[in-house]
Amino acid sequence: MKLWQKESTNTSELIEQFTVGRDREFDLLLAPYDVQGSLAHVAMLERVGLLGNEEYVLIKTELEAILKEIEVGNFSIRTDAEDIHSQIEQMLTERLGDAGKKIHSGRSRNDQVAVDIKLYLRAEVQQIKVLVLDLFELLCKLGEEHKHKLLPGYTHLQLAMPSSFGLWFTAYAESLTDDITLLMTAYKMTDKNPLGSGAGYGSSFQLDRTYTTELLGFSSLHYNSIYAQMSRGKTERFVAMALSSIASTLSRMSMDVCLYMNQNFGFISFPDELTTGSSIMPHKKNPDVFELIRAKCNRIQALPNELALLINNLPSGYHRDMQLTKEILFPSIQEILSCLEIMCLMLKNIIVKDKILEDDRYKYLFTVERVNELVNVGMAFRDAYRQVALEVENGTFSFSGTLNHTHEGSIGNLCIEEIKNLMEIAMSK
């Protein structure tokens, strides 16, 4: 029996299959949060007199029992239930009779699913934050550990200037500070309570929405009942934008790793057990992990556009289009979590080559150092540039000086502590 079904209603099976879609699959992820939302809702109903104390105790006890079933994996959504909301209400009614039928007073499936999604996304964002911080700390550690190992720097994929592994690792560490800033902004978007907005137009019951906000640990509520419904899709899009930003960092670093592992570069390697081979070429050590991180993260970067197209030009109020936000966003949350985990595993085992720049093929990396050397003894920069360009052209260029990069954010001054401070600030917002 559906929550909306009347005694005379007999929906076509084909229509039911199409409209339910993959909802049961993704609603399993929402199951614990649906119970949490219901626990807060019935506590509020008892507080405002819409449930008697004995009824409330019965429902609360049964909801807590269902939550335990979910937590131990002894729970599924039956085929005769349209979604998680129908399933929970049916279970309560079967176990408690009329008391179970009262749980839906003062709410709609619209605000019920909205609060479930908010609670789910809030929890997942916190998990993502923890893994991003793990990766950040690892990158800072690697940057410090390998700060004296020089690396060719490239622009346009052409040899440019000397870089270092310290500079490379901490570049991605600082990138994550911006990603966390977006993630924490998305968290603020999820940390608002839509429960009590009903179908989008409130209720004639004297609901206490502030109370459910406190019980569910939200920092605030969505005050306007129409906007509470309009936040569906918008909240998911903000989370998707944060995921996209993290994915961009992971994808770009993965591309670097694939290049640096290439035999023509040979800057880094990984233990054999973390790479794959070829079915016909015995010498191959393929960076499959990083290629898959790159591919998965490139797909994740499309999420904001996909969600924007889904909700674009919808009028105010609820629309069934919103159902699809779950199947767009939820799998990508699990993907970004797995990408963060595997990236940490791989980087903990990275092998960094030393003395790379001693190879004669990299001598032109030092042309700028030679120009600056001439400027430091009084030559005008443009004259020094021309002289070094002639030396390169004539094959007489050489540089035997030392690197002296000391300004903030250069090879000799990575500012790791300052970058760590940026992350602390971003995490606290």
3-state SS track over 98-155:
HHHHCCCCCCCHHHHHHHHHHHHHHHHHHHHHHHHHHHHHHHHHHHHHCCCCEEEEEE
Q: Residue ranges of the chain with pLDDT lower than 70?
A: 1-12, 19-21
Q: Is 186 in contact with 238 (CB distance < 8 Å)?
A: yes
What SS3 state is found at 318? coil
DSSP secondary structure, 347-388, as one string = HHT-EE-S-GGGSGGGGGGGHHHHHHHHHHTT--HHHHHHHH
Q: Element (H or E) spanning 85, and its range?
A: helix 84-96
pLDDT of residue 82: 80
Hey, which residues does 268 pair with through a beta bridge?
352
Q: Is 128 in contact with 333 (CB distance < 8 Å)?
A: yes
CA–CA dist 213, 115 (Å, integer): 10
pLDDT of residue 231: 93
pLDDT of residue 88: 93
Angle at 117 between CA 62 and CA 127, to 5 degrees: 95
Which CATH number does the domain 109-149+164-203+226-356 belong to among 2.40.10.120, 3.65.10.10, 3.10.20.310, 1.20.200.10? 1.20.200.10
Q: What is the pTM of this model?
A: 0.92
Domains of the chain by residue range: 13-101, 109-149+164-203+226-356
CA–CA dist 8, 24 (Å, integer): 24
Q: Element (H or E) spanning 163, and its range?
A: strand 158-164
pLDDT of residue 4: 44
Please say whether the structural domain 13-101 has been given the CATH code 1.10.275.10: yes
Residue-wise pLDDT for 308-348, tens only, equals 999 988 888 888 888 889 999 999 999 999 999 999 999 99
pLDDT of residue 284: 79
